[in-house]
Each structure stands twice: as structure tokens, then as C-alpha cells.
Amino acid sequence: MRPKNLEKEEAIRSIALKIISEEGLENLSMQKLAKAANISPRTIYIKYENKEDLLVKLFIEEVLGTYEKAILENFNPEMGFAEGMKRLWLNTFHYLKNNKPSFSLIQYGKSSPLLNKAFQEKNIQQGEFFAPIHRFLKTHVKTGLIPDLPHDVHRALLFSPIQDLVAEYFDHLDRPQQIINEELVLTCCEIVIKGITNQKHHEQLKK
Amino acid sequence: MRPKNLEKEEAIRSIALKIISEEGLENLSMQKLAKAANISPRTIYIKYENKEDLLVKLFIEEVLGTYEKAILENFNPEMGFAEGMKRLWLNTFHYLKNNKPSFSLIQYGKSSPLLNKAFQEKNIQQGEFFAPIHRFLKTHVKTGLIPDLPHDVHRALLFSPIQDLVAEYFDHLDRPQQIINEELVLTCCEIVIKGITNQKHHEQLKK
DNA sequence: CAAAAGTAAGTAAACGTTTGTTTACTTTTA
DNA sequence: TAAAAGTAAACAAACGTTTACTTACTTTTG
């Protein structure tokens, strides 16, 4: 039995992401992808049932999977709040700024009904997605350091600014100078931390 | 000379937005749009040069134009910081939650290279887009109430959470109960305000 | 002050391409 | 030689856009 050529599988994934990030999701076609990867269209259909299957698997397994791993590196839920937040923000910044195709697909995940649906299903089904962050926040809610809000609301308050900053980082690649760097990211992170933490509680702990 | 049928022009715009928000940008075709609007494909090409022209004009004139107006209602740059922020947040929340198609297209604007380019050009060219907010922030930077950061960074810190909350609002439409309401939006707005404002300065002003 | 002339709006049908996917066949290796 | 991997070529359907024509209204003219 002829064995699979793993290089071709990898080429399909990486070239698909490249096309999406450079030309947009609406400009990715199976034939264009096959041509760019120097294979026959049929070869894509050995690994993936159809285009939807390819996109969903690419999004969930390839992008979200590695994204999660990268963000949680050197992070653990028992960390202090400020320390943990800074770790998560820096991990997000460094991973995404070096993986533009992933960032592009994540952005598409927020608007495209197809990927949006896939994301929600994954998020609800396994419930384990970003579970350490969930636990981290719960801990600090319990001590009263941060307010008890729904998890989705915590996410909007604590992590949407860093994702927006990454978008700005990519926008500024086309401009004369880059304004988004690690120092600025940390400054912004501190502002977000200051907003959500209960100062009185913090001072009581010090006493 | 036969006059234009303005109803048909309006139908093209509103039905295009409807298709985009329900089925995604990648599922909008000129023939599908014509059929849904009960007109001939040729009629679209009387008003718009091609598909790209349609999308860009729809995005900039129809969506961004009315979005800007809605957000700046009852707002003026001389307002106090907290008061102004709350006005902007509530306007954003109320407008977007009642205009899902606009929200969808704005989200696409962040990922699709085509719309992204159109947005940047518009933003740079006229420089007047959201100018009152620009002035508002500048004023409060001058008094030292908020830190002096690039405008794009201010936007990420101050407005990305409310946009994320609107996305959550729409996600929760499919779930048993809605958790995003005006009260929660104001709570979050206060958290963001607390984060960015210089407390010491604030207290000095009081003395 | 009607009817003819002129003109842009609008239509039905089709253009050549490209789409996602499949069929029929060849290659490669256990 | 069995069997899956892979290819070249083709499929119907849908794509963006155009052609050839009709409709509906304004303006000009006898």
C-alpha cells in the first residue's frame, strides 16, 4: 500500500492559510489551492471530505489548537492576577505577531457564519478550551479581587484589547514605523488590570 | 428619460446586507442578490461598476456613515470623560444591537483584505472619521486625566470591549437567555474608565 | 397640446470562466 | 498483486459580467 506523503498534507494546510491571510477567505478555492501546492485537486479530497470540512479542521485543529498551546505557555491558574494576565498578554502578542495566517483565520472566525458556528460548537462541546484561564479567573473572583461577571464578559474586558493591538501591529507593518511593541503591550495590560481589580480589596490584603 | 426607481436601489443595499449577515460575505453573489431583490443582474450594474465597487460603497457609505452618525448622537467633545465614554458606549450598543447586518459587515471589514483596504483609505483620506472622538480624547490627555497614547491604542483600550460585548449579545440570541444588557454594558464601561484614568489627577482636581 | 423622437432604466438570456467535486486511470509500496 | 495515494481531465452548477432588447418617462416638434 502506497504510504501518504506527509509533505503534501502539510503543504495543503500551510498554503491554504497563506492564501487566506494574503487574499482573503473569499479568494480561497480548491483548484487554486491545489495548483499552488503543486498537487491534483483530488488529493485534497483524500484527506478532507469537502471545502467546509477543510476550513473547519484547519480552523479548529491547526489554528485554535496551536494558538491555545502558545497562549498557555509558562502560565498556570495559580498565578497572581497581574502576573498571570501579563503572561497571557505577552504570549498572545508574541504568538500572533509571528503567525499572521492564524490571526487572519481567527478574525474570520468572528465574522464568517461557517467558522463562527464551528467555533461555538467546539467551545461548548469540549468545554476544555482555555479551561486554565477559566479557572484562573474563577480563583480571583473568589478572593474578591475581580468582580463576578459572566466568563464571556471577562473575556471581552480582559482580552479584546490585546487582540485589537495585534491587528494594529499588522496594520502598522505597511506604515513608516511600528508603534506596537512589547513595552506598549505591557503598559496597556496594566491599564486593563487596574480597571478590573478591586483596589480596596488589594489594599486590605497588604495590611 | 425614464427616472430611477429608488425602491430598487434601496432593495439592492438592504438585501445585500441581509445576505451578508445571514450567510456570510463569501455567499453573496450578484445573481443571488438580483434574484432576491427581484431585479435583473444588469440593474445592479447601472448603479455599481462591479462587485468590488458595490461592497466598498455599501461598506463605506451605507454602513460606516450611519454608524458614525449613530455613535456620535448627543455626544460632544467637551463632555466630561466618564460622561462622554458612557454616551459613546451606550450609543454603540444600541445602534449595533439593532443593526446586525451593519455589525456583520464591520466585522468583515477587519478580516477581508478588500474591505480592510477600503476602510484604511477612507480613514486616512478624510481624517474626519470619528474626529469628535479624537478631539475628546486629546482634551483629556491634555489635562492629564488619561495617558498620552497613540490614537489607535486608545481605541483598542477604550472601545474594543464594547464591540466584543455586542458580538456576545448576538451569540446569546441563539441561547436560552440573554446576559448582555444596558446595565452590564455600563458596568463594563466603568471598569474601562477606571483603568485608563489617572486617579491621582482626579483627586487633585477635587481638592 | 397630442404625437413622435430621444434616452436612460430595466429585463431576459447568455457569455466565457471558475467553482466544488468526481470519474477513470496510473503510480507506488507492503 | 492488492490497495491506497495520487493524477489528469472532466462534470454540472454557479460565478461576475455583457449583449440585445424593451419599457417608461421627458422633451421636442407640427
Q: State pLDDT tens for residues A164-185.
A: 999 999 999 988 999 999 999 9
Which residue does chain B place closest to A22, by CA atoms?
A: B113
Strand, coil or helix: what is B145? coil
Please determine, for residue B44, whether its predicted confidence score (pLDDT) is greater than 60: yes
- Count of CB atoms within 10 A of residue B204's CB? 10
Q: How far is the CA of A2 from the C1' of C27 (A)?
A: 9
Is 80 exceeded by the pLDDT of residue B121? no
- Burial (Cβ within 10 Å: 0-12, 13-18, ≥19) of residue B154: buried
Residue A204 has pLDDT above 70, yes or no: no
**Nucleotides on strand C lying under 7 Å from protein C-beta:** 6-14, 18-24, 27-30
Eight-state DSSP code of residue A204:
H
Q: Assign B201 a pLDDT band (cuts: 50, 70, 90).
A: low
Q: What is the mean pLDDT of residues B158-184?
A: 95
Tell me how far apart the alpha carbons of residues B91 and B88 are, in angstroms, rounded to a whole number. Answer: 5
What interhelical angle do B131-142 and B151-171 show, nearest 10? 120
CB contact set of B112 (below 8 Å; sequence gap of 6+): A24, A25, A26, B25
Mean pLDDT (chain A) is 91
Please give the residue of chain B at the shortest CA–CA distance from A163. B156
**Pair A195, B192: CB distance under 8 Å:** yes
Residues 26-65/B with CB < 7 A to strand C = 31, 38-43, 46
Give the distance, in angstroms, between residue B141 CA and nucleotide D8 C1'. Answer: 65
In this complex, how many residue pairs, one in chain A and one in chain B, have their CB atoms less than 8 Å apart?
Answer: 110
Buried b (16+ CB within 10 A) or exposed e, B31-53: eebbeebebeeebbeeebeeeee
CB of A35 nearer than 7 A to strand D: no
Average pLDDT over residues A61-81: 94
- Angle (nearest 5°) at CA A124 between B173 and A87: 105
Q: What is the DSSP string of A150-202?
A: -HHHHHHHHHHHHHHHHHHHHHGGGSSS----HHHHHHHHHHHHHHHS-HHHH
Q: How far apart are CA A67 and CA A52, in angstroms?
A: 21
Asked if the Cβ–Cβ distance from A152 to B161 is below 8 Å, we say no
- C-alpha R_g of chain B: 20
According to the model, what pLDDT value does residue A3 have?
86
Q: How far apart are CA A189 and CA B107, in angstroms?
A: 24
pLDDT at residue A202 is higher than 60 = no
- Smallest CA–CA separation between A196 and chain B, in Å? 6
Closest by CA to B93, choosing from B17, B180, B173, B178, is B180
Question: According to the model, what pLDDT value does residue B5 have?
Answer: 86
The nucleotide lying nearest B47 (C-alpha to C1') is C9
Question: Is pLDDT at B203 greater than 80 in this prediction?
Answer: no
Distance from C-alpha of B113 to C-alpha of A58, rounded to nearest angstrom: 20
Domains annotated on chain A, with CATH? 1-47 (1.10.10.60), 55-206 (1.10.357.10)
Mean predicted confidence (pLDDT) in A49-72: 93
- How far apart CA A101 and CA A143 sit, in angstroms, is 39
Confidence of residue B204 (pLDDT cuts 50, 70, 90): low
B129/A134: higher pLDDT: A134
Over 50: is that where the pLDDT of B207 sits?
Answer: no
Q: Is B153 close to A184, i.e. CB distance below 8 A?
A: yes
* B contacts of A81 (beta carbons < 8 Å): none
pLDDT value for B6: 84
Digit-coded pLDDT (tens) for A145-160: 999 999 999 999 999 9
pLDDT at B120: 77
Q: Is residue A16 pLDDT above 50, yes or no? A: yes
Spatial separation of the C-alpha atoms in residues B203 and B5, rounded to whole Å: 61
Distance B203 CA to D20 C1' (A): 77
Q: What is the pLDDT of residue A150?
A: 95
- Rounded-to-integer distance, Cα A139 and Cα A170, Å: 34
Query: What pLDDT, on a 0 to 100 scale, did the predictor assign at position B202?
Result: 55
- Least Cα distance to A81 among A185, A163, A196 occurs for A196
Query: What residues contact B166, with CB distance under 8 A and at least 6 apart?
Result: B92, B93, B96, B97, B103, B180
Question: What's the mean per-residue pLDDT of chain B?
Answer: 91
Return the minimum-mean-pLDDT range out of A123-127, B70-74, B137-141.
A123-127
Phi first, then psi, for residue A78 (nearest 5°) are -90, 0
Percent of chain A whose pLDDT exceeds 90: 75
- Closest chain A residue to the Cα of B178, Cα to Cα: A150
- In this structure, is the CB of residue A2 within 7 Å of any atom belonging to strand C? yes
Return the pLDDT at B150.
95
At A86-115, the pLDDT tens digits run: 999 999 999 999 999 999 999 988 888 888
> Testing the interface with A: which of B152, B166, B169, B189 to mutate, by most A Cβ within 10 A?
B152
Amino acid type, B42: R
For residue A64, the number of C-alpha atoms closer than 13 Å in the C-beta half-sphere is 22
Q: Which residue of B has its CA nearest to A178?
A: B150
Which of A's residues 165-194 have CB atoms within 7 A of nucleic strand C? none
